[in-house]
Structure 1
Amino acid sequence: MTSLDNDFCYSFPAVRGVQAGRPFYIATCPLRIIPKIFIYDEEEVPPELRAQRTLNKARIPEMSRYLVDNPDDYVFSALTASVGSDVSFVEQDNAPNIGTLKVSMNTSILINDGQHRRAAIEEAIKLKPELGQDNIAIVFYIDEGLNRSQQMFADLNQHAIRPSSSLSTLYDERDPGARVAKYLATSAKPFLGFTEMEKGSIPVKSNKIFALSAIKHATRALLAKGPKDDISDDEKEVALQFWECINDNMTEWLLVQEKKLAVSEFRQEYLTAHGIALQAIAIVGHQLLDFPEDKQIEKIKKFQAIDWRKSNPEWVKRAMMHGKLSKASSNIFLTALEIKRQLGLDLDQEDLQKEKDLLNT
């Protein structure tokens, strides 16, 4: 810490703490100031001379749009920054760890964690200037050189674990697909009581069949909806009716629901106990939704005659890679096309050529 009496400074209301014998400071800063004072280690610099990953510019529009679309209901976590030694902490009377952090305008402030948030804030303020009045928390560490900054980046990220796709779906009220998936998980016959709400994949000994995230992705495919597309109440009911009609014509699903087939055996032996089948059925379903209701039911009844066992040679070559089920888009496509064929649906010539190319590779 140094005296900054003769320097122009940034001043931040702050709280001082100690980690591993080193002081750090928690401050707040108006969003409008963030792009002006927080620099990013430019991507042209080789990685061994940087303390950050390169900026993934594709992430910025979505993060910026999140701020702009939810000005009264967004949450952005704190930025973490290293600041040069030209700082001082002015203690408040009778509160030695509460005061003002003064940072010389001549020193560098380098973001260790949060460069994408910083870039998103900059873009969002251009679109919605009033956001600049809001504040964000900053955790300041005193810069001890490149090696220490690189170690901080590694330490901050090595223990960061993203929540599973199902848990994110469960807690996400902004995503229309997530809301519909939760509705189906608690309303539709094939999913009620058989949905894994927290994990993205189903544990071996679980009595669940489908992950909540798989229901979300499949229903989006059924309705031909993108990740941010709205889903009307009518479309939600269309999805419910479709999955219940499929359920009534899916022999193994009914056997599991009647406790005549163990979930563990079902998952081990049948394709329809897995997300790839759900996704493929949804793709087929999108085509079926264009049919009159009586024609839909006629086609869906043919699901009863399909051999859904994993040992079926058609599924081995279409849904599996190296002996294991694959969620790759090519495997989902091949599986959906075979279902269409077995239902007697018209097949597009372009799809048939793509099928030929994939199966011959």
Structure 2
Amino acid sequence: MDGFQYTFAALRGIQAGREYYVAMCPLRLLPKIFEFDSQDLPPELRAQRVLNKSRIPAITRYIVEHPHDYVFSAITASIDGPVQFKPFEEHGVHRNIGQLIVPLSARFIINDGQHRRAVIEEALREMPDLGDETIAVVFFLDAGLKRSQQIFADLNTHAVRASSSIGILYDFRSPLAYVARRAAAEVPAFKGLTEMERSSIANRSLKLFTLSGIYYATGALLRKEAEDEISPAEEQIAIDYWTALCTVIPEWNERVIRATSSLELRRDYIHFHSVTLHALGIVGADLIATYPRTWREHLTKLRSIDWRRTNPLWEGRAMVGGQLSKARAQIIRTANAIKQVLGLPLSPEELRLEHTSVDATAAFDANHLETAS
């Protein structure tokens, strides 16, 4: 900030025939210059979505807990006011490198990155030293509300969120992600048969499981969340449990897997799908807690289960109307059936779901998902 203006070191570029600028903005300046649209305005009069405040604490914690290796992508903003770009050279290679001069009276509107801005403001309260660090900002010249709304739509309509599996594959902070990757590499039924990039499996794929499915099932098994610490003993329990299942679920046997196509196995059996994998994780947590020394012996009772989709036992549990369902209620119902084979007691919530109709719990799940979204 210089006198009565902001001065940013910036690069000038051209998109769709319009000039835009990329600048480095100190974090301490970010909350001061970037405004939120009034949350009270109707959507048609705003250039952004309403701020979801529930997201802020978790992302703030991410910065505060990883001050030396956090990463933030650029913020996109529009400047409503006269700006001046002063290049270092009028001609030559430096003609698009220079200073972007913006009067203090100009208005900055965030087109993409409002949650990053709110998180940075919160993080600065806890760690003021972060104020001298910078974030990249892409500045467009404001051309009115409609243009700002169109920028928001263009940035978000074509954005593709990375799959859960590849996020887990590349996450080296989460202990749970590490255990899931280790299970995928060591457990006989998972080894070489886990889809590491996508969270769904194509019909012609040779894979049987997804890394995200193993991750969430292992979280249920260990009763851990992404950032929870996992001891070496707990880590080994997870590997041992999934490995033990390979000896009691006939179709998880390496010889059977090699002799049958992946398409047939996933088509005919429910235990190659995330809903049952997650249920097996829930069952494993209760089994190991109940029989910490002899859980392997009790696990052998699973040899009696018919895991085929055609088994009527799975309708209303892993399957609804003949289709697999990953709804929370169906996961718990699937776990209930397996726990009953093992002689494990059901919790009050599990008992309630056993006596609730499938239609009622489907409606509950639908409402839950709508509220969460």
Q: Which TM-score band (shorter chain)?
A: over 0.9
1:52 to 44, 48, 53: 48
2:21 to 19, 25, 29: 25
Cα distance between partner residues in 1 of 2:71 and 2:309: 44
Report SS of the residue matched to 1:290. helix
1:276-316 Cα shifts (integer Å, max 9, x gaps): 11110110100111244563122211111101111111101
| CA displacement at 1:350 relative to structure 2 | 4.7
Query: Within 5 A, what are the aligned runs for 1:169-184?
Result: 169-184=168-183
User: Does the alignment pair 1:300 with 2:296?
Assistant: no
Cα distance between partner residues in 2 of 1:141 and 1:113: 12
Equivalent residue, structure 2, for 1:332: 331
Equivalent residue, structure 2, for 1:320: 319
Cα distance between partner residues in 2 of 1:222 and 1:80: 41
1:162-183 Cα shifts (integer Å, max 9, x gaps): 0111011111111111111111
TM (norm. structure 2) is 0.92
Cα distance between partner residues in 1 of 2:57 and 2:345: 39
Cα distance between partner residues in 2 of 1:15 and 1:146: 25
Equivalent residue, structure 2, for 1:35: 31
| CA displacement at 1:134 relative to structure 2 | 0.5
* Deviation larger for 260-269 or 248-257: 248-257
Cα distance between partner residues in 1 of 2:32 and 2:351: 55
- The alignment-based identity, stated in percent, is 48
| CA displacement at 1:346 relative to structure 2 | 2.3
| CA displacement at 1:354 relative to structure 2 | 2.8
Equivalent residue, structure 2, for 1:227: 226
RMSD: 1.6
Assess if the C-alpha contact under 8 Å between 1:320 and 1:326 holds in 2: yes
Unpaired runs of 5+ in structure 2?
Answer: 361-373
* Structure 1 pair 200–360 and aligned structure 2 pair: CA distance change class (3 A): closer
Equivalent residue, structure 2, for 1:309: 308
Assess if the C-alpha contact under 8 Å between 1:252 and 1:261 holds in 2: no
Cα distance between partner residues in 2 of 1:349 and 1:89: 67
Query: Within 5 A, what are the aligned runs for 1:140-219?
Result: 140-219=139-218
Cα distance between partner residues in 2 of 1:321 and 1:144: 51
Cα distance between partner residues in 2 of 1:233 and 1:131: 34
Assess if the C-alpha contact under 8 Å between 1:166 and 1:198 holds in 2: yes
* Deviation larger for 218-227 or 328-337: 218-227
Report SS of the residue matched to 1:117. helix
1:233-267 Cα shifts (integer Å, max 9, x gaps): 21111100111111111101116655222211110
| CA displacement at 1:360 relative to structure 2 | 7.4
User: Does the alignment pair 1:262 with 2:261?
Assistant: yes
Equivalent residue, structure 2, for 1:243: 242
TM (norm. structure 1) is 0.95
What amino acid is aligned across from residue 47 of structure 2 in structure 1?
Answer: A
| CA displacement at 1:137 relative to structure 2 | 0.6
Aligned residues: 356
Equivalent residue, structure 1, for 2:369: none
Report SS of the residue matched to 1:272. coil
User: Does the alignment pair 1:16 with 2:15?
Assistant: no
| CA displacement at 1:98 relative to structure 2 | 1.2
| CA displacement at 1:155 relative to structure 2 | 0.8
2:57 to 58, 61, 67: 61
Unpaired runs of 5+ in structure 1?
Answer: none
Equivalent residue, structure 2, for 1:88: 84
* Deviation larger for 340-349 or 102-111: 340-349
